[in-house]
Amino acid sequence: MERQTIIDGLRAIIDADENIDVDVSSVNEDTQVDKIGFDSLSILEFMYEIENRFDVTMEVADLVEMKVVSDMIDHIQRGQTSGSQVAGDASPGDSAA
């Protein structure tokens, strides 16, 4: 997925969250994640929306390591190329016995 498409998706997620007060048009690859204005609840919702929109897995530890939006884009691109399912995430009954 193109980086601009991901940025547009991230902006849409941020814009849809009424608890985040930031000019989404100013969000770009150099934007510091901690300057977006997340609170403890909105950051969890943001992660959930990223997982759904981009079909990737994101953990709190991943997000803590991300300093700027470009780090987030890199994570999303890596998750899409490697597949979003992690070993052990198979649904019950999916085991090949």
pLDDT at residue 19, as a whole number: 86
- pTM for the predicted model, two decimal places: 0.79
DSSP class of 26: G
For residue 7, give the CATH number of its domain. Answer: 1.10.1200.10
Residue 97 included in any domain:
no
Q: Tokens 């999916």, residue?
A: 94
Q: Could you say which residues of the chain have pLDDT below 50?
A: 84-97
* Helix, coil or strand: residue 32: strand
Residue 91 included in any domain:
no
- Identify the domain containing residue 72 by its residue range: 3-82
Residue 92 included in any domain:
no
Residue 90 included in any domain:
no
pLDDT at residue 85, as a whole number: 43
Residue 15 included in any domain:
yes
Say how far apart CA 42 and CA 47 lie, in whole Å: 9
Residue 93 included in any domain:
no
pLDDT at residue 92, as a whole number: 42
pLDDT at residue 14, as a whole number: 95
Domain count of the chain?
A: 1
User: What sign does the CA torsion over 63, 67, 71, 73 have?
Assistant: positive
